[in-house]
Chains A and B, each alone.
Chain A
Amino acid sequence: MTDSILVRHSPLGFVLAASPRTIVGLSVFLLIVFTAIASPWLAPHDPLEQDLLNSFLPPFWVSGADPAFLLGTDNLGRDVLSRLIYGTRVALTVALVAATLTGILGTTVGLLAGFYGGWVDTLVSRMVDIWMAFPAVLLSIVLVAVIGAGLHAVIIAIIVIDWTRFCRVVRAETMVQCQQDYVASAVTIGLSRRRRLFKEILPNILPLLISLLTLEMGIAVVVEAILSYVGLSVASDAATWGGLIQEGRLYINQAPWLMVFPITCIVVAVLGFNALGDGLRSTLDPVLRR
């Protein structure tokens, strides 16, 4: 809205200005989204379907493989590829929902603390300090024990632990921006505090937020995997990447592929999100663009 007063944006312009990093990141992200949405059509088998006669089949490039199960099967004969594909749903949901909500909470508190200063800042800072002193893993286990296992628990756990990350960084950057003359200039024009915060300072915090959000998305995926690993995520037979790793751990000698594939998926997803964040930041930030 702010820019459109004088210039009409062209979406095509954004795409054309993208760097290789953005394209890679965007591709990975879109691939995950597509896979998550189209899972029922992409997956060759039902991820929950067990076939004990075909258990521990290796991936297609190893001898003894069955081409019907491209990436092999697990101990219960379930198709690894299908489970990975359905796993993107959980990963994406957690990444988007948890990162967004964490971002909103952390940024709001950070902006207010940085802008208003005084007792607001002192209160927030002490709260953040105390909060960060709790061991994150313990906190999430306690939370899940209270709320009950499941995807919503995972998301809430991530928000509860990671909002402080956003808060601290946004608060620091807000304080830096407040020192700039364009904020003083806004005062001399007579802009109210609220307008100064949202119309002047917030656009200058956005590039930072983009980076933090994509970083958080990667973290969310990893945290979900960890919580799955300790059995605190969704029900154990549902397909999540973390769950696959946990199950695969038991058979690491017989069937190492059961762990390798889900780990690869997590790594690719996190790298993709980070690349997307970097690329988005340099494409959207007018200061970095030249």
Chain B
Amino acid sequence: MFEAMTAAKGQWILAMLEVTDLALALPDLSAKRAFSKAPVVAILNNLNFFVKQGESVGVVGQSGSGKTSLGRTLMRLYEPTSGRVVFDGQDISHLREAELRPLRRRFQMVFQDPQSSLNPRRRVGHSIVQPLIAYGRISSWEQARWQAQELLERVGLEGKLARRYPHELSGGQRQRVGIARAVSLEPEFVVADEIVSGLDVSSQAQILKLLRRLKTELRLTLIFISHDLSVVRAVCDRVLVMNHGEIVESGSCAEVFSRPRHCYTRELISAVPLPDVDDRWFDEQGSGRP
């Protein structure tokens, strides 16, 4: 897990994000019985990793692996039960909202379902400049309007879409609005949670291309959460593989995908159908790459 550290022994590494012994447990309301508290379920268990400035780290796992919860915990939408999340040298694990607020400008999140992550009763143009307004960067309506146009164009959409409501846009367009909003404050760190799931191959490719471009333009540090290993390979340098709330393997994408060491990683990789005809694909039982 700390290969990068050992490889650069003796050198200071700029860790944008450092996570130590992170654990998260939430009450399971569906299992609550009358007259007693809901039983607590461990979602994340003893996570340790770090992300260097400018790196793109993918987090892969299947449903229930805890990857989405990890993303939300890093954004402090959940408060960790134990362990630490250190962002650019500052421990944000248990800061109160008022203390977090000035920092929030620097780390932003793009959510999975743009249908629900954009306020459905607010025009897209307004949603896009909302962060700028919240941080006092907008002083007039004219400026707001201009800013909205500019942000839309930056992600490859037409400025006139600002008047539309989210349900009047396609899935790919909505997701681009979500991205435009997240980068409007020019954050240093972005968490993207399943942002291309549910998109067509071509919309997906467009979003990935946009993401790569923005990554370089804004020098972003990126955490890319996805269940799709192939998408992660296309975007990220490193990858963390999660299962049942733990990181079972981590390393560079090239390493992990060609020479997986953990049996779960191997099982996961071999289950992904590549677009190659292979009559024996059904015969393998998680034995690694065919």
Contact = CB atoms under 8 A, between A and B. Distances in A.
A193 B167 CA distance: 26
B64 interface: no
Interface in B123-164: 123, 125-126, 129-131, 134-135, 141, 144-145, 148, 162-163
A188 B77 contact: yes
Nearest to B77: A184
B165 A287 contact: yes
Contact of A185 (B100, B117, B145, B148): B117
Contact of A5 (B119, B131, B134, B141): B141
A182 to B, nearest CB: 5
Q: For the complex, would chain A's binding face be called helix, strand, loop or mixed by DSSP majority?
A: helix
A3 interface: yes
Contacts of A126: none
B33 interface: no
Contacts of A253: none
Interface in A1-58: 2-7
B120 A287 contact: yes
B109 A185 contact: yes
Contacts of B97: 192-193
A190 B98 CA distance: 9
A7 B72 contact: no
A219 B3 CA distance: 70
A181 B111 contact: yes
Contacts of B101: 190
Contacts of B284: none
B111 A184 contact: yes
B122 interface: yes
Contacts of A203: 119, 121-122
B168 interface: yes
B223 interface: no
A285 interface: yes
Interface in A242-258: none
Contacts of B100: 190
Contact of A188 (B75, B121, B141): B75
B77 A3 contact: no
Contact of B126 (A3, A188, A193): A3
A63 interface: no
A145 to B, nearest CB: 39
A233 to B, nearest CB: 39
A177 B162 CA distance: 23
B121 A5 contact: no
Given A6-B144, A184-B72, A189 B122 contact: no
A175 to B, nearest CB: 12
Nearest to A284: B121
Contact of B123 (A7, A189, A192): A7
A7 B77 contact: no
Contacts of A286: 120-121, 165
A189 B119 CA distance: 13
A100 interface: no
B126 A5 contact: yes
Interface in A166-222: 180-182, 184-193, 200, 203-204, 206
A287 B169 CA distance: 12
Given A181-B116, A200-B119, A203-B119, A190 B125 contact: no
Nearest to B149: A6
Interface in B179-212: 181
A252 to B, nearest CB: 50
Interface string B232-276: 000000000000000000000000000000000000000000000
A180 B116 contact: yes
B131 A189 contact: yes
Nearest to A193: B97
B111 A185 contact: yes
A204 B77 contact: no
A192 to B, nearest CB: 8
A189 B120 contact: no
Given A2-B126, A182-B118, A290 B167 contact: yes
A190 B104 contact: yes
Contacts of B105: 190
10 contacts: A4-B141, A6-B148, A7-B163, A180-B116, A184-B109, A188-B77, A190-B134, A200-B119, A286-B165, A287-B167
Given A188-B77, A189-B104, 13 more contacts: A2-B122, A180-B117, A182-B116, A185-B111, A185-B118, A190-B104, A190-B105, A190-B134, A192-B97, A203-B122, A206-B121, A285-B121, A286-B165
Interface of B: 72, 75, 77, 97, 100-102, 104-105, 108-109, 111-113, 116-123, 125-126, 129-131, 134-135, 141, 144-145, 148, 162-163, 165, 167-168, 181
A-B CB proximity, top 4 nearest: A181-B117, A190-B104, A190-B101, A6-B125
